[in-house]
Amino acid sequence: MSGLAFLLPVLALPALAAEPLVLKDDSRPGDLRQAVIAIDVGGSLIVASEKSDEVKVPMSVQALIKLQERLVPTSDGVVCAARHYDHADAKIKVDGRPITPLLREDRRLMSVSRGKDRLTVFSPHGPLTREELDLVTLPVDSLVLDTLLPKGPVRPGDTWHPDNAAVALLLGLDSVGQCQVTAMLLEVEKGRAKIEISGMVHGAAGGASSQIDLKSRCYYGVNSRRMEDVEVIYREKRSPSPAAPGVDATAKVRIQLAPLKHSVALAPELLDGVSLEADPEHQLLEYSSSGRKFQLNHDRSWYVAQEDAASTILRRVDGGDLIAQCNVTALSSIKQDRRTTLAKFQEEIKKALGENFGEFVAATEEQEKSGRLVYRVMAAGTAAELPVEWIYYLVQDAEGRRTSAVFTMEQSLTERFAAADRPLIASLTMLSPSSESPAKPTPASVDTARLSTPKLPVPPPDTRVAVPTPPKDKAHKLDAQPELQRPDGSHTAKRPVDRIFRR
């Protein structure tokens, strides 16, 4: 073999190497696309129990979501899209009990925005229910997929590491402590770049530690310049939190994306004048009691913990900490001339608190223009050997319908509570039996299925003022939430406030 012939294979090697690819999402404001998302989840919910440390309750979810989305311009760098949900169907089973969340027709238009650390979903046509929000808050959201792409050119066999913020957004985590996730470009074939993503993630959501084993296969369109097909399989173990039970489940999610030439539901003229900004008032949630006795709007830090025909219990959770509990009870109607006085209301509160009572901090009476009368009484005392503050309300409308509410919190948490009682009570509307109410899952609400244990205090009906009476026996305490492991391996302290909510 001549010297020249010997060199030919060597000289040809660079030509055989694949050209580097820039895998960048070229989506722009105004672009239209459709998405089909299939979700299959199986495993267990982990709930607290009086007899053991935890109880595993079997659960499953099968969901199919079809939506159209138009990217909209923003001035602050936030990625935002207007969405129309053409189809949103989910079949949930918890301990064999079927639950079917519904999406109202007038809430199918949504705004979805991606900030630095979270996705925000709301309907510009009015507040969502918690069940509707859960139905449309999906893992593997289409607005997140571009964050998984490499920052620079890659060849088949090259690897990169998606940053923690991208992984947190992908999996719906509030934060990521340890992330060992690696992405690799496997091959480019038939105009598609095949990407594999896998690894272990330790993070937190709602104050609960979470461990996720992730595997994903993604297909990026070389010509379309965007993700077209993504399948994610992950196993998650999440500890219980004050807002939700723990999870030990495997989820399979597939999202398929395709461009749209036009959309009747998202036509520019229909979106003109529609506010898609994620202002606080747009993010309020709507709640109607199971007995159709009352309705209220609340921010997303309030969670329904338990409900029956006359009463509802909500818990306020901030940064994973249980801040306060609110018991709302519908009372029997009375005639205007039989209404109780503020002084009488205070007497009933003092009697109800018994030895837990310390002093009244404030007491106000407000007669609104609508004819609604609102008594608000703040009391301080102790419960389970902790300094506690109670805020009692008695609300009566012009038709004589009445509702009572009591907010309970540890005194050290009042600053974090930040008078969250006022907007909740301001939104309270008492309903007639025939009043229209938001669509609710059947046969039971999702929140009840999630938080049915441990049992929480349901105040008994009081024919006079209905002031909830905490039991005097200190042995009857709500079990404290278990310690939660942080991503760095440390533990959060048990919240003392858990012990003041009586059965």
Angstrom distances, CA of residue 61 to CA of 58, 192, 234, 447: 11, 31, 14, 15
At 278 the pLDDT is: 86
Establish if 22 belongs to a structural domain.
Answer: no
259/153 same-domain check = yes
Which pLDDT value is given to residue 115?
A: 85
**Mean pLDDT (the chain, rounded):** 84
Mean pLDDT of 129-155: 94
Region 320-330: what's the mean pLDDT? 94
**Residue 321 belongs to a domain with what CATH number?**
3.40.1000.10
The last residue of a domain, from among 279, 310, 339: 279
Residue 48 reports pLDDT greater than 80: no
Question: Which among 239, 259, 279 is the end of a domain?
Answer: 279
3-state helix, strand, coil in the chain (%, to 5): 15, 45, 40
Residue 206 tokens read as 């709602």
Distance CA 345, CA 61 (A): 47
Q: 3-class DSSP state for residue 438?
A: coil
Confidence label for 290 from pLDDT (cuts 50, 70 and 90)? confident
Same domain assignment for residues 248 and 187: yes
**pLDDT (mean) for 385-397:** 96
Domain contains 258: yes
Decide if pLDDT at 223 tops 60.
yes
The answer to whether position 5 is within a domain reads no
CA distance 383 to 471: 10
Contact 248, 237 (CB under 8 A): yes
State whether 96 and 178 are in the same domain: yes
Who has greater pLDDT, 472 or 355?
A: 355
Residue 192 lies in a domain: yes
pLDDT at 52: 64
Do 152 and 294 belong together in one domain?
no
Q: E-assigned strands of 190-300?
A: 192-205, 208-221, 226-238, 246-259, 285-288, 294-298
Domain count, the chain: 2
Virtual CA dihedral for 21, 213, 480, 308, nearest 10 degrees?
80
Query: Is pLDDT at 338 greater than 70 in this prediction?
Result: yes
Tokens (6 digits) for 316: 């306020």
- Domain end residue (candidates: 257, 279, 301): 279
Local confidence band at 54 (pLDDT 50, 70, 90 cut-offs): confident
pLDDT of 3 over the 50 cut:
no
**Do 457 and 434 fall within a single domain?**
yes
pLDDT at 175 over 50: yes
Structural domain for 296, as ranges = 284-500
The residue ranking higher by pLDDT, 451 or 173, is 173
Q: Tens of pLDDT along 444-490?
A: 333 333 333 222 232 333 333 444 444 333 322 323 333 333 333 33
What's 8-24 look like in SS3?
A: HHHHHHHHHCCCCECCC
Q: What are the φ/ψ torsions at residue 417 (nearest 5 degrees)? A: -65, -35
Choose the weakest-confidence range: 13-27, 178-192, 404-418. 13-27
- Domain shared by 38 and 165, yes or no: yes
441 has a pLDDT exceeding 80: no
Residues 219 and 300 both lie in one domain = no
Residue 351, both tokens? 């009697």
488 in the same domain as 358? yes
